Amino acid sequence: MEKNIENMDFSGNRKKKEECFEMETKNKNKKTVIMLAVIGIAIVCICVIGVFAKKAYDRHQEELRLQAIETKNSEIDGEYQRFEKEEDRNKKLEALKQEMERAEKYKKTEGDYEECSAHYEKIIAQMKNSFVSEYDDTIKIIADKIGDDVEKVDDKEALKNATSEFTTFKDILKNDFENYNTVEQDSFDKYNSTIDDYVTKYNDRVTAIEKSEEEARKKAEEEAKKTVEAIFPYVDFLFVSEETSRRMLQRTGTLEEIMKGYADTYGCTLIATTRREAVSPTHHNFNSKIYMNGNFYEEEPYNNIEVIDRIGSGDAYLAGVLYGLIKFGTPERAIEIGNALSAVKNTVAGDMSASSIEEIESVIKSHKATGHQDEMVR
């Protein structure tokens, strides 16, 4: 019985211990669950906070990005505004070149924005378009001076001027293209083709006009030749330039042969021929030759005559020769006075020389002494 009681006590204690252990286990599990719940809640809170923080950060970064883009684009716009206000064409070309260089450099910069690169391209295109408009206007302005129906244009000088303007413009276009890339290759080729077409048309028209003029000149000279040659048999003193003899009267051979031919064919007593050489628009050389009584007479030319007004110099020569023949009766004196009077006439304004015979004799003396006309005498 005691043994049974002992067994009962032992069983009871054991059961109590088991219950205590089970209770402790439950309490531990409960605490673990609570702890896990707290940790989970904390993790969720941290995640939520992180998401909001990330969004705030991204929003801030976007604001900074947009601000940087706005600042850069404003800078680009400012460069374009300065370009538009610039009136000097060369400076505008340099501004375009610098803008393209800045755009290229920006693309290679770390942290560049596509929006800014695109804005650079837009502004550069606008800059180039200003030159394209200029090219189009220039072609139109030059072409409008001639009009569409080129075959009806008879103004040779206007055609030549237009051709010259197109040639100059073509050089400008080439410089812009090669040094500033104002247009692309295909546009450059198209402009050149257009210019070449105009120049060809204008040159062809000039050629046609000159051909017509040459035909008219030859016809007029032929008529003049017939008229003049009909008068020659009645002429004693013939004054004719070498150019007139060769061109209008169609004489060939040496000058001496031509002059002698007038005497042999028409019986002229005196034939005087002048020769002028243009050293420059304002300085000429002058000389003449006389054929009389089977002899030729000539003296040293008057060189580097300062030409003020050459109109009337031929009449002055004729008057001087006639005066020399009438006054002195010799072809030597006639040619001296004729050359001197003509040379002096070139140096004064108006169509008539007002020099006295004393002044002309002084010029002749100076010419013979030095071989050229003295500046003080002139």
Burial class (CB in 10 A: 0-12, 13-18, 19+), 41: exposed
Is 0.85 topped by the overall pTM? no
Q: Which pLDDT value is given to residue 378?
A: 46
Quick one: pLDDT at residue 352? Answer: 79
Residue 145 is predicted with a pLDDT of 95
Q: Which pLDDT score, from 0 to 100, does residue 51 have?
A: 73
The SS3 call for residue 271 is: strand
Distances (CA, A) of 62 to 114, 197, 320, 330: 14, 56, 100, 109
Close Cβ partners of 326 (under 8 Å, ≥ 6 residues apart) = none
Helix, strand, coil shares of the chain, percent, nearest 5, are 75, 10, 20
pLDDT, one tens digit per residue, over 151-204 is: 999 999 999 999 999 999 999 999 999 999 999 999 999 999 999 999 999 999
Q: What is the pLDDT of residues 279-332, one digit of tens each?
A: 898 999 999 999 999 999 999 999 999 988 888 888 999 999 999 999 999 999
Q: Which residues pair with 286 in a beta bridge?
A: 276, 302
pLDDT of residue 147: 95
pLDDT in single tens digits along all 378 residues of the chain? 555 545 555 566 667 776 776 777 777 777 777 777 778 787 877 777 777 677 777 787 778 788 888 998 999 999 999 999 999 999 999 999 999 999 999 888 877 888 899 999 999 999 999 999 999 999 999 999 999 999 999 999 999 999 999 999 999 999 999 999 999 999 999 999 999 999 999 999 999 999 999 999 889 989 999 999 999 999 999 999 888 899 889 999 999 999 999 999 999 999 999 888 888 989 999 999 999 999 999 999 999 999 888 888 889 999 999 999 999 999 999 999 999 999 998 898 888 777 889 999 999 999 988 655 445 444
Beta-carbon-side half-sphere exposure of residue 23 (alpha carbons within 13 Å): 6
User: Which amino acid, residue 289?
Assistant: K
C-beta atoms surrounding 72 within 10 Å? 18
What CA–CA distance (Å, rounded) separates 327 from 316? 16
List, as one string, the DSSP characters of 74-127: HHHHHHHHHHHH---HHHHHHHHHHHHHHHHHHHTSTT--HHHHHHHHHHHHHH
Q: What's residue 377's pLDDT?
A: 47
- Let me know if 240 is exposed, middle or buried by CB neighbors in 10 A (0-12, 13-18, 19+): buried
Residue where the block lists tokens 């800045």 = 102
Considering only CA atoms, which of 226, 231, 237 is closest in space to residue 268?
Answer: 237
